[in-house]
Amino acid sequence: MKKKLFILFSLLFLLSSNIYADESDSDVIKKLAGQGDADAQYNLGNLYTDGQGVPQSYILASKWYHKAADQGHGNAQYNLGVLYSVGLEIPQNYKLAYEWYQKAAEQGHAIAQYNLGIVYTNGLGIPQSYKLAYKWYQKAAEQGHAIAQYSLGKAYDNGQGVSRNKAAAKHWHKKACDNGMQMACDSAFEK
């Protein structure tokens, strides 16, 4: 179940991060991307992901995300992680997803940090480790990522990667609740 939610949230974020452009805008972006501009390469990847001003193609999106990601573009690294996690027109590869999430997470990308927590929790392409899952959930949670806050609370509830601590679990569930996650509200105010 958690794996399915992970894929769904990843895909929704990927699809919602797009810019909107008409054909003339995409021509300008293509030109800049071809000149090696990492932001333009990332944006061109987004255009191909959504089919804005260009034909929709995850293969071409991954090509341009790779070019930007190789230059250290954190959002492009994250989007590559999503594409490899889900396997949209490219072979699903959890090991590569992990590698790209790791690069984005190390730059402080909160959603990539959360996704690394999921990867470690479920052992997707790497050995399963609750301790490392906890580490990445905490990094994302500290940036206000509500689902990571909830996951951190669950880690404290279940003693996964950290000593069981009901007070800490309640603290993180309350933070997630304050950030709009209803499921966390239910957990935060249980007796």
Q: Provide the residue ranges of all domains of the chain, joining segments of one domain with +.
A: 1-109, 129-191
Confidence of residue 54 (pLDDT cuts 50, 70, 90): very high
Give the per-residue SS3 of 96-117: HHHHHHHHHHHCCCHHHHHHHH
Summarised one tens digit per residue, pLDDT across range 85-105 is: 999 999 999 999 999 999 999
CA gap 38, 75 in Å, rounded:
10
Q: Does domain 1-109 have CATH number 3.40.50.410?
A: no
pLDDT tens-digit map of 142-156: 999 999 999 999 999
Q: What is the pLDDT of residues 153-169, one digit of tens each?
A: 999 999 999 999 999 99
